[in-house]
Chain A
Amino acid sequence: MAGRGQLERIGKYPVLRKLGEGATSEVYQCRDPFNDRDVAVKVAFPETFQDPERGRLYRKLFLTEASLAGKLQHPHICQIYDAVAEESLHYLVMEFVDGGTLEKYCRADSLLPVDRAVEMIFKCTRALEFAHRLGVTHRDLKPANILHTGETNVKITDFGAALIASGETTQISSIGSPAYMSPEQVKEQTVDHRTDIYSIGVVLYHLLTGRVPFQGANNFSLIYQITNAKVEPPSSLRPELPPQIDAIVLRAMARERDQRYPRWEDFSNALAQVFRAERAVARKAQDFADSDRFETLRALSFFRDFSDAELWEVAHISTWRHADAGQALMKEGAPGADFCILAEGEVKVTKRGKLLGVVHPGECFGEMAYLARKDNRRGADVTVTAESSVISVPTVKLVQVSEGCQHKFDRAFMTILVERLSAANVRLSGV
Chain B
Amino acid sequence: MDHVANYPVLRKLGEGATSEVFLCQDPFRGREVAVKRIFPEALRDPVRGRLFRKLFFTEASLAGKLQHPHIAQIYDAGIGEDSGYIVMEFVPGGTMERFCVPENLLPLEQVVDIVFKCTRALAYAHMHGVAHRDIKPGNILYAASPTDVRIGDFGLALNVHAQTTQITGVGSPAYMSPEQIREELVDHRTDLYSLGVVMYQLLVGRLPFQATNKFSMIYQITQHDPAPPSALRPVVPASLDRIVRRAMQKDAAKRYHSGDEFAEDLIEALRAGLGEAARETFGDADKFALLRSMRFFSTFIDQELWEVVKLGIWERVPVGKEVVQEGEAGDFFCILIEGEMRVSKNKKLLTVLGAGECFGEMAYLSLSGQTRGATVAAGADSRILQIRVADLEQASVSCRSKFDRAFIGILVDRLNLANTRLTSG
Q: Which residues of A contact B (CB under 8 A)?
A: 9, 11-12, 33-36, 63, 66-67, 70, 82-86, 368, 371-373, 403-404, 406-407, 410-411, 413-415, 417-418, 420-421, 424-425, 427-428
Spot the interface stretch: B107-115, B198-206, B310-318, B413-421: B413-421
Across the interface, do A414 and B29 meet the contact criterion of CB distance under 8 Å?
no
Across the interface, do A34 and B60 meet the contact criterion of CB distance under 8 Å?
yes
15 contacts between A and B (CB under 8 A): A11-B78, A12-B79, A34-B76, A67-B28, A67-B29, A84-B6, A372-B416, A373-B409, A407-B397, A411-B367, A415-B367, A418-B365, A421-B411, A424-B422, A428-B425
Across the interface, do A403 and B409 meet the contact criterion of CB distance under 8 Å?
no
- Given A12-B78, A12-B80, A373-B409, check contact A403 B419 (CB 8 Å): no
Query: Smallest CB-CB separation from A81: which chain B residue?
Result: B28
Residue B30 lies at the interface, judged by CB distance under 8 Å to chain A: yes
Residue B398 lies at the interface, judged by CB distance under 8 Å to chain A: yes
Across the interface, do A67 and B415 meet the contact criterion of CB distance under 8 Å?
no
Nearest CB on A from B73, distance (A): 13
Across the interface, do A67 and B27 meet the contact criterion of CB distance under 8 Å?
yes
Across the interface, do B405 and A410 meet the contact criterion of CB distance under 8 Å?
yes
- Given A34-B57, A34-B60, check contact A407 B76 (CB 8 Å): no
Given contact pairs A33-B57, A34-B76, A372-B412, a sample of 19 additional A-B residue pairs in the complex whose CB atoms are under 8 Å apart:
A12-B80, A34-B61, A36-B61, A63-B28, A67-B29, A82-B28, A86-B3, A368-B412, A371-B408, A371-B412, A403-B398, A404-B397, A406-B401, A414-B411, A415-B365, A417-B411, A417-B412, A418-B411, A428-B425
Most buried by B among A9, A82, A418: A418
- A372 vs B405: C-alpha distance in the bound complex, in angstroms? 10
Nearest CB on A from B131, distance (A): 20
Query: Smallest CB-CB separation from A423: which chain B residue?
Result: B418
Using Cβ atoms and an 8 Å threshold, which residues of chain A touch B64? 34
- A126 vs B365: C-alpha distance in the bound complex, in angstroms? 31
Using Cβ atoms and an 8 Å threshold, which residues of chain A touch B414? 421
Across the interface, do A11 and B6 meet the contact criterion of CB distance under 8 Å?
yes
Across the interface, do B28 and A70 meet the contact criterion of CB distance under 8 Å?
yes
Interface of A is mostly: helix
- A407 vs B204: C-alpha distance in the bound complex, in angstroms? 47
Using Cβ atoms and an 8 Å threshold, which residues of chain B touch A82? 28
Across the interface, do A11 and B398 meet the contact criterion of CB distance under 8 Å?
no
- Given A414-B407, A415-B367, check contact A67 B30 (CB 8 Å): yes
Report how many residues on chain B are interfacial, defined by Cβ distance under 8 Å: 39
- Given A414-B365, A424-B422, A427-B422, check contact A83 B28 (CB 8 Å): yes
Closest 5 CB pairs of A and B: A12-B78, A424-B418, A410-B404, A417-B411, A84-B6
Residue B362 lies at the interface, judged by CB distance under 8 Å to chain A: yes
Query: Smallest CB-CB separation from B74: which chain A residue?
Result: A34
A414: contacting residue among B5, B408, B416, B418, CB under 8 A:
B408
- A415 vs B411: C-alpha distance in the bound complex, in angstroms? 10
Most buried by B among A9, A70, A406, A417: A417
- A415 vs B367: C-alpha distance in the bound complex, in angstroms? 8
Using Cβ atoms and an 8 Å threshold, which residues of chain A touch B292? none
Residue B383 lies at the interface, judged by CB distance under 8 Å to chain A: no
Query: Smallest CB-CB separation from B417: which chain A residue?
Result: A424
- A9 vs B80: C-alpha distance in the bound complex, in angstroms? 9
Residue B77 lies at the interface, judged by CB distance under 8 Å to chain A: yes
A417: contacting residue among B3, B397, B405, B408, CB under 8 A:
B408
Using Cβ atoms and an 8 Å threshold, which residues of chain A touch B362? 418
Interface of B is mostly: helix
Nearest CB on A from B333, distance (A): 13
Across the interface, do A12 and B5 meet the contact criterion of CB distance under 8 Å?
yes
Most buried by B among A12, A368, A413: A12
Query: Smallest CB-CB separation from B75: which chain A residue?
Result: A34
- Given A11-B5, A421-B411, check contact A414 B404 (CB 8 Å): yes
Using Cβ atoms and an 8 Å threshold, which residues of chain A touch B5? 11-12
Using Cβ atoms and an 8 Å threshold, which residues of chain B touch A67? 27-30
Nearest CB on B from A355, distance (A): 14
Nearest CB on B from A23, distance (A): 25
Query: Smallest CB-CB separation from B79: which chain A residue?
Result: A12
Using Cβ atoms and an 8 Å threshold, which residues of chain B touch A406? 401
- A85 vs B78: C-alpha distance in the bound complex, in angstroms? 17
Across the interface, do A410 and B401 meet the contact criterion of CB distance under 8 Å?
yes
Query: Smallest CB-CB separation from A356: which chain B residue?
Result: B419
Query: Smallest CB-CB separation from B416: which chain A residue?
Result: A372
Query: Smallest CB-CB separation from B403: which chain A residue?
Result: A410
Query: Smallest CB-CB separation from A62: which chain B residue?
Result: B27
- A86 vs B398: C-alpha distance in the bound complex, in angstroms? 37
Across the interface, do A428 and B409 meet the contact criterion of CB distance under 8 Å?
no
- Given A371-B408, A410-B405, A410-B408, check contact A428 B6 (CB 8 Å): no
- A372 vs B414: C-alpha distance in the bound complex, in angstroms? 11
Using Cβ atoms and an 8 Å threshold, which residues of chain A touch B79? 12
Across the interface, do B418 and A425 meet the contact criterion of CB distance under 8 Å?
yes
Using Cβ atoms and an 8 Å threshold, which residues of chain B touch A368? 412
Nearest CB on A from B98, distance (A): 32
- A86 vs B3: C-alpha distance in the bound complex, in angstroms? 9
Residue B212 lies at the interface, judged by CB distance under 8 Å to chain A: no
- A63 vs B7: C-alpha distance in the bound complex, in angstroms? 12
- A420 vs B80: C-alpha distance in the bound complex, in angstroms? 62
- A404 vs B404: C-alpha distance in the bound complex, in angstroms? 12
- A67 vs B57: C-alpha distance in the bound complex, in angstroms? 26
Across the interface, do B78 and A34 meet the contact criterion of CB distance under 8 Å?
yes
Nearest CB on B from A410, distance (A): 4
- A371 vs B406: C-alpha distance in the bound complex, in angstroms? 11
Query: Smallest CB-CB separation from B421: which chain A residue?
Result: A428
- Given A9-B80, A11-B5, check contact A66 B411 (CB 8 Å): no
Nearest CB on A from B180, distance (A): 28
- A256 vs B199: C-alpha distance in the bound complex, in angstroms? 73
Across the interface, do A428 and B366 meet the contact criterion of CB distance under 8 Å?
no
Residue B12 lies at the interface, judged by CB distance under 8 Å to chain A: no
Using Cβ atoms and an 8 Å threshold, which residues of chain B touch A36? 61
Nearest CB on B from A303, distance (A): 15
Across the interface, do B400 and A35 meet the contact criterion of CB distance under 8 Å?
no
Nearest CB on A from B399, distance (A): 10
Query: Smallest CB-CB separation from B30: which chain A residue?
Result: A67
- A63 vs B27: C-alpha distance in the bound complex, in angstroms? 7
- A82 vs B26: C-alpha distance in the bound complex, in angstroms? 10
Nearest CB on A from B352, distance (A): 19
B28: contacting residue among A66, A415, A417, A424, CB under 8 A:
A66
Contact with A along B51-64 (1 / 0, CB 8 A): 00000010011001
Using Cβ atoms and an 8 Å threshold, which residues of chain A touch B418? 421, 424-425, 428
Across the interface, do A35 and B61 meet the contact criterion of CB distance under 8 Å?
yes
Using Cβ atoms and an 8 Å threshold, which residues of chain A touch B419? 424
Contact with A along B71-112 (1 / 0, CB 8 A): 000001111100000000000000000000000000000000
Nearest CB on B from A163, distance (A): 14
B366: contacting residue among A34, A66, A418, CB under 8 A:
A418
Using Cβ atoms and an 8 Å threshold, which residues of chain B touch A403? 397-398, 401
Query: Smallest CB-CB separation from B78: which chain A residue?
Result: A12
Most buried by A among B29, B79, B401: B401
- A33 vs B84: C-alpha distance in the bound complex, in angstroms? 13
Query: Smallest CB-CB separation from A13: which chain B residue?
Result: B78
Query: Smallest CB-CB separation from B85: which chain A residue?
Result: A12
- A66 vs B6: C-alpha distance in the bound complex, in angstroms? 15
Across the interface, do A407 and B28 meet the contact criterion of CB distance under 8 Å?
no
- Given A11-B6, A428-B418, check contact A413 B408 (CB 8 Å): yes
- A66 vs B418: C-alpha distance in the bound complex, in angstroms? 55
- A424 vs B400: C-alpha distance in the bound complex, in angstroms? 27
Nearest CB on A from B343, distance (A): 14
Using Cβ atoms and an 8 Å threshold, which residues of chain B touch A371? 408, 412
- A406 vs B80: C-alpha distance in the bound complex, in angstroms? 41
